[in-house]
Amino acid sequence: MSNHQKFFIDGKWVAPTGDKTLDVINPATEEAFTAIALGNATDVEKAVMAARGAFDSFSRTTREERMALLQRIIECYLAREDDLVEAVSNEMGAPLAFARENQVPVGASHLKSTLEALATFEFEEVRNKGLIVREPIGVCALITPWNWPLNQICAKVAPAIATGCTMVLKPSEIAPVSGIIFAEIMEEAGVPAGVFNLVNGTGPDVGQVMAGHPEVDMVSFTGSTRAGIIVAKTAADTVKRVCQELGGKSPNIILDDADLEKAVAHGVRNCFDNSGQSCDAPTRMLVPEGKHDAALEIARVTAESLKTGDPRAEGTDLGPVVSKVQYDKIQGLIEAAIAEGATLVTGGPGLPEGLSRGYYIRPTVFGNVDNEMTIARQEVFGPVLSILPYANEEQAIAIANDTEYGLGAYVQSGSLDHARAVAKRIRAGNVSINGPTWDTAIPFGGYKQSGNGREFADWGMHDFLEIKGIRGYTA
């Protein structure tokens, strides 16, 4: 029996207290494939109090007990891989191959990285005659987005479990089915009652209630900067910790000594990965002005080689964006770029050729972009790349840092030492040099309006811990 219209509270699947439901739309077909129950303040209260009731005992579990629990969660997660792939493809439009090779495995990677970090994490340390203790912070509200649903769920749940915290998860109501399956995984793994709870719902009706609840000790939020500000303001009245991973407008500096064709082609594919729906997508490509025209041609050829279409069809590179709201926003930003004088290299407004339904965006590249243009300032969250020329390296670094965001940045160079020197000058929480593979042991988080705190492995565990100093502990 489906749990789509139930919540997981205190170790049981329970009916919601209200009767509101929401259709979950497949963005490839524009049709509903299921409906979920929408929670309210009463449902949040039940979930939070279940987490509060479980905290005392779970916070006192041993490292070994929590490691064993994480191992069982990993095993149950891997056993549900096919179900998770299907869910992610249906709810957010990810091509099946991308869901199987990226969206689902990255969740398991977080669980494994956290398990590995937990094995050697120092919860206690003697200093002088005192003992410094790192203790679980308490009940945690976890609010996750739709673009990498399992990535963000696992990046928050894993450190909460590892540190002995209890939690209430609110997945995105746009892509909730993978979150429901994850709750089934937690049940199958034997997570103690009340340690993990799930309530579906909207941001105002569930997310904000969780953020402001006096029995919630910490909020871990991933989403837009606009929503993050609301969460932080709501949480401020109870002076709880708020950790956020928000928006981005990441620069990709292609230095003069880089292999231009390789660097530009890689930058285009990286920007368009996941249909451009990544907060750290390299959406601003900076190239030497003397190589600008050549870069535009390489970008055009690369973009036009990508197949946009049915997520279930073999060979599809880009599926749709997640919703009509996102589609309309992206169309508006494409129109604004044209109106402000950017050069449309390929793509543009409207649906891709041959597609008459679904929230598909034409893979779009703009050249001659000025960093003051709307397309260079605002987060697009779609397969849209801006290419900006720079006169010299100092100007490139200045342009890269001229943004209210600071989540990701990218540097391409033929010299590793050269790339390292530039990377250190970028004001961002994550900098990638010459296209490295994704590593869930490296901290992830942002500077400026891209958020605060860090996630992944032991870095994420710190945000779920309080620090206690006990003076006179030693003789």
Residues involved in catalysis: 245, 279
31 membership: H or E segment, kind and range: strand 31-37
Token digits for 95?
């091509």
* Cβ 418 vs Cβ 254: under 8 Å: no
Q: Is 336 exposed, middle or buried (0-12, 13-18, 19+ CB in 10 A)?
A: middle
Cα 131 to Cα 118: distance, rounded to the nearest angstrom: 20
DSSP-derived secondary structure for 187-207: HHTTPPTTTEEE----IIIII
**Scanning the structure block, which residue is given the tokens 């890689």?**
266
231: alpha, beta or left? (left if phi > 0; alpha if psi -120 to 50): alpha
3-state class of 45 per DSSP?
helix
Phi and psi at 28, nearest 5°, equal -80, -25
Task: Provide the 10 A C-beta neighbour count for residue 290.
Answer: 10
**Scanning the structure block, which residue is given the tokens 């779920």?**
464
Phi and psi at 371, nearest 5°, equal -70, -10
- Residue 329's DSSP bridge partners are none
* Cβ 393 vs Cβ 422: under 8 Å: yes
Helices (H), 260-291: 260-272
Phi and psi at 349, nearest 5°, equal -70, 160
